[in-house]
């Protein structure tokens, strides 16, 4: 079983069995990508993943029904963990039918459970989900809904300053969703650091990726999203451990690679500001920092920093870690991560 090192919990729900709603072959095809997403969240997101419904081999079992009590219990458990075992980050992914119920007070959206018929039984209310999220003790909240009319999650939306959140739905409130699973496909592509050559994928990076998809694909179905608060790392945690340290052997770097590394560092504002650069060096192990010669010009100072760090085991890893404390997830830091992945692909 995955170990929840970082207090990150995920619930991945896939419902393909319905008593009174259409069960298309395309809906069945969501099984494979939904399970792939669950595994990605475990291996690269550091999440402890609960699957609903769950097979005996601990994968999604989309041949089984999920009733409203099943879904209510699982979502409540996700968003209201025991006080003695608090959760820092909670993620809900749902794939299945979505329904709407018109009323004089407006249209209410639902995540359809297996007994839903769209007439008298609808499923799990998205209004209820919003209320549960608002009152939840979990600080970081991530919601991914792959369902028709899932954009009704944002009906009467109000900013919640108590939480950091990233909510994404596959459609706007009035739209049906293509059963091929546009959102889960986008998530698999965008959250896989191996494909995108990123150390970390954040909530802001995901939204940028989704916006780019929509700019190049002008279909009628449109994602809807809201992010708020501090940035949330979605993947790049690698099952609760830090990314594999880069190898530090000068023999493996060509002069061109060293130059590319130096140039990427010089694109980071922290490394061109003398005081901030000195602060980064103070975060390095003393045996490395004491060997770095001072220089008045940023370029020559950074060159010496790189060459010195490369002479020590994990020296470059220590430098990147110290720099990230200042740059966080800035665009220059993302560019540096790409350069490191190119130089050290393993």
| Per-residue model confidence as pLDDT tens digits over 45-60 | 989 999 999 887 788 8
* 3-state SS assignment for residue 200: coil
Give the pLDDT score at 250. 45
Mean per-residue pLDDT of the chain: 85
Token digits of residue 234: 């979605």
In this structure, are residues 71 and 111 in contact, taking their beta carbons and an 8 Å threshold? yes
What CATH code is assigned to 8-235?
Answer: 3.40.50.1460
Query: How many Cβ atoms from other residues are within 10 Å of residue 260's Cβ?
Result: 16
| Confidence grade of residue 329 (pLDDT, cut at 50, 70, 90) | confident
- Residues 238 and 229: their CA atoms lie apart, in Å, by 23
Beta bridge partners of 225: 168
- Residues 66 and 17: their CA atoms lie apart, in Å, by 8
Q: Please, which residues have CB within 8 angstroms of residue 132's CB and are 6 or more apart in sequence?
A: 75, 76, 79, 80
DSSP single-letter state for residue 151: G
- Residues 272 and 288: their CA atoms lie apart, in Å, by 20
Apex CA 300: angle with CA 297 and CA 304, to 5°? 135
Token digits of residue 34: 């939904």
Domain definitions of the chain by residue range: 8-235, 250-343
Placement of tokens 């002479």 in the chain? 311
Helix (H) / strand (E) containing 82: none
In this structure, are residues 52 and 17 in contact, taking their beta carbons and an 8 Å threshold? no
Peptide bond into 53 cis (omega under 30): yes
In this structure, are residues 101 and 80 in contact, taking their beta carbons and an 8 Å threshold? no
Give the pLDDT score at 294. 85
Token digits of residue 261: 């590394």
- Residues 209 and 231: their CA atoms lie apart, in Å, by 15
pLDDT tens digits, one per residue of 110-130: 999 999 998 899 999 999 999
Rounded (10°) CA dihedral 324, 327, 332, 338: 20
pLDDT tens digits, one per residue of 138-184: 999 999 999 989 989 998 888 888 999 999 999 888 887 766 678 99
* More confident call, 2 vs 129: 129
* 3-state SS assignment for residue 329: coil
* Selection from 57, 58, 56, 70 nearest residue 17 by Cα: 70
pLDDT tens digits, one per residue of 228-271: 998 899 987 643 334 444 554 444 688 888 899 999 999 999 99
CA distances from 18 to 53, 82, 97, 108 (A): 13, 32, 9, 20
How far is residue 290 CA from its own chain's centroid?
A: 38
Give the pLDDT score at 145. 95
In this structure, are residues 232 and 164 in contact, taking their beta carbons and an 8 Å threshold? yes
In this structure, are residues 179 and 27 in contact, taking their beta carbons and an 8 Å threshold? yes
């Amino acid at each position: 079983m995955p170990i929840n090192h970082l207090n990150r919990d995920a619930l991945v729900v896939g419902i393909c069995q319905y008593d009174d709603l259409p069960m298309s072959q395309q809906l069945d095809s969501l099984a494979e990508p939904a399970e792939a997403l669950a595994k990605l969240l475990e291996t690269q997101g550091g999440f402890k993943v609960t699957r609903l419904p769950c097979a005996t081999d601990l994968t999604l079992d989309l041949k089984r029904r999920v009733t409203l009590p099943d879904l209510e219990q699982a979502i409540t458990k996700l968003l209201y963990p025991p006080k003695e075992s608090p959760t820092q980050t909670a993620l809900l992914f749902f794939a299945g039918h979505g329904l709407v119920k018109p009323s004089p007070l407006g249209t209410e959206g639902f995540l359809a459970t297996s007994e839903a018929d769209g007439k008298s039984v609808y499923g799990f209310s998205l209004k209820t989900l919003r209320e549960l999220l608002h009152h939840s003790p979990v600080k970081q909240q991530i919601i991914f809904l792959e369902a028709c009319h899932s954009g009704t999650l944002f009906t009467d939306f109000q900013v919640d300053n108590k939480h950091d959140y990233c909510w994404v739905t596959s459609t706007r409130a009035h739209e049906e969703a293509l059963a091929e699973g546009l959102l889960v496909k986008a998530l698999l592509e965008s959250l896989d650091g191996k494909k995108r050559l990123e150390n970390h994928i954040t909530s802001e990076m995901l939204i940028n990726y989704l916006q780019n998809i929509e700019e190049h694909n002008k279909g009628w179905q449109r994602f809807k999203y809201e992010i708020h608060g501090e940035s949330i790392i979605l993947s790049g945690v690698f099952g609760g451990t830090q990314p594999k340290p880069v190898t530090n052997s000068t023999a493996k770097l060509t002069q061109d690679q060293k130059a590319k590394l130096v140039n990427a560092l010089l694109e980071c504002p922290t490394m061109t500001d003398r005081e901030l650069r000195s602060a980064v060096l103070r975060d390095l192990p003393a045996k490395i920092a004491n060997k770095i010669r001072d220089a008045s010009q940023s370029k020559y100072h950074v060159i010496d920093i790189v060459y010195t760090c490369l002479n020590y085991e994990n020296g470059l890893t220590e430098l990147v870690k110290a720099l990230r404390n200042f740059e966080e997830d800035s665009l220059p830091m993302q560019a540096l991560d790409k350069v490191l992945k190119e130089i050290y692909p393993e």
